[in-house]
Amino acid sequence: MKAQEKPKISDLMMGKLDREDMEKKIDYLYMHASIFLSMSILYLLFLFRPVPSVSRSLSYLLFAAIEVLSLLCGYLLHRDARTNSLTVWCNTLFGLGVYTFLCYAQLRKTSVTHYLIVIGAVMGIYALLLSVFVLRSRKSFREKLRLWLDLFLKVGQLVFSACSSMFMLVLVVLIFLGRGFVSADRVRPVVSQDATIVNNMDMLCNLQESVWEKLPTEERLDVLQTIANIECRYLGLSHELHVAVGDVDDGAVGGYDDSHYQIKITPEYFTRAKPFSLVNAVCHESYHAYQYDLIRLYDLAPDDLRDLRVFRKAQAYEDEFRFYDSTDGDETLYYTQECETDARDYASTATEEYYNRIKKYVETGEL
């Protein structure tokens, strides 16, 4: 017995379906709408972020426009074909992929470039094979061209959707692992006596604005990771610090996660802030790491030594971190916390020291 074919979307739009087929098609459309809405909501919850240099509100509008345009183009592309779940997944993922590559291209330029090269290579090979197949058919030139375009666009949509979904999956995994969207490429987190300003002056010279603006994301993070390594040595930390670009809780532009020894800077701040401000942020969060180490030392100290003057800061830090006032709360309380005022004072002094040393080296060649 011949399997019953699924009705076409175009048949539904033209009123050519009987009642039974129309009920089936309504079920299909309901399923497709559910897939589209669920995928869009999940994306907005976990992966959405503004396009660089575009406001959040305009980015939401751009996201909606790309998704709607993707669905319309998908309908036009598949209007004469039998609909299935794969078609709707491709229509949805294609729009999400376009927006993802658009808003993460600056942060993960190397990765996005690699994915686009793979897509281009696969479609180039497919175009050659398809040309051979179509040219061998006994159709008119116009029919051959139409067939070639139809198959190329459908497979292109599938390949792009598959590759972009892999890219999005990698981002989701990085988010759930708490590792940030991108980290340093060549500079590894270390605790070393060799991590000094003198030994890393050539790297630190990249902090000059004329040089910084030409650096890709990974190389900028190499510079910030170098600063974190220097801070580890200077502050005498017992562990390395990992610098990454990622989401930060409480609406701050940067944050320190002591459970992973990680300094995070938000993508928005990382892409728009001057290098001076980013150095200040890394030094600020490095000092928070020092404060946590000081608290650990205080907790290990015998009771008869805990009243020593050297531990009085640790007592205050421990109380404040236990009942931490973030930037989502009262800003006055946040800024007046001792852990924050001390971190700001240290970061200001340290950042000035870095830039004074860089200026001296550039002008005189002296370290």
Please answer whether residues 316 and 339 qualify as being in contact, where contact means their C-beta atoms are separated by less than 8 angstroms. yes
Please give the Cα distance from 254 to 265 (Å, whole number). 4
Please give the Cα distance from 181 to 330 (Å, whole number). 29
Give burial (CB, 10 Å; 0-12/13-18/19+) of 354.
Answer: buried
Query: Does the pLDDT value for residue 298 go beyond 90?
Result: yes
The residue ranking higher by pLDDT, 289 or 144, is 289
Query: Does the pLDDT value for residue 299 go beyond 90?
Result: yes
Report the mean per-residue pLDDT for the chain: 87
pLDDT band at 5 (very low <50, low <70, confident <90, very high): low
pLDDT band at 1 (very low <50, low <70, confident <90, very high): very low
Structure tokens at 48: 């959405």
Query: Does the pLDDT value for residue 50 go beyond 70?
Result: yes
Average pLDDT, integer, range 209-233: 94
Average pLDDT, integer, range 191-196: 92
Average pLDDT, integer, range 59-72: 92
- The count of other CB atoms within 10 Å of the CB of residue 88 is 22
pLDDT band at 225 (very low <50, low <70, confident <90, very high): very high
Average pLDDT, integer, range 156-175: 92
Write down the pLDDT at residue 24: 65
The residue ranking higher by pLDDT, 10 or 306, is 306
Please give the Cα distance from 100 to 63 (Å, whole number). 9
Strongest mean pLDDT among 19-28, 289-298, 305-314? 289-298
Query: Does the pLDDT value for residue 7 go beyond 60?
Result: no
Write down the pLDDT at residue 25: 65
Residue 33 makes CB contacts below 8 A (sequence gap 6+) with none
Write down the pLDDT at residue 292: 96
Give burial (CB, 10 Å; 0-12/13-18/19+) of 256.
Answer: buried
**Which residue from 264, 233, 236 is spatially nearest to 248, judged by alpha carbons?**
264
Query: Does the pLDDT value for residue 348 go beyond 80?
Result: yes
Query: Does the pLDDT value for residue 17 go beyond 70?
Result: no
Choose the weakest-confidence range: 17-26, 197-206, 337-346.
17-26
- The count of other CB atoms within 10 Å of the CB of residue 11 is 14
Write down the pLDDT at residue 167: 94
The residue ranking higher by pLDDT, 215 or 32, is 215
Write down the pLDDT at residue 88: 77
Q: What pTM value is reported for the model?
A: 0.77
The residue ranking higher by pLDDT, 89 or 355, is 355
Residue 64 Cα to chain centre, angstroms: 19
Write down the pLDDT at residue 114: 93
Write down the pLDDT at residue 19: 65
Please answer whether residues 238 and 293 qualify as being in contact, where contact means their C-beta atoms are separated by less than 8 angstroms. yes
Residue 273 Cα to chain centre, angstroms: 17
The residue ranking higher by pLDDT, 270 or 109, is 270
Percent of the chain scoring above 70 in pLDDT: 89
Give burial (CB, 10 Å; 0-12/13-18/19+) of 288.
Answer: buried
Q: What angle do CA 107, 51, 285 make, to 5 degrees?
A: 50
Percent of the chain scoring above 90 in pLDDT: 54
3-state class of 19 per DSSP?
helix
Choose the weakest-confidence range: 75-89, 203-217, 332-346.
75-89
Choose the weakest-confidence range: 40-54, 110-124, 213-227.
40-54
pLDDT band at 141 (very low <50, low <70, confident <90, very high): confident
Choose the weakest-confidence range: 235-244, 320-329, 332-341.
320-329
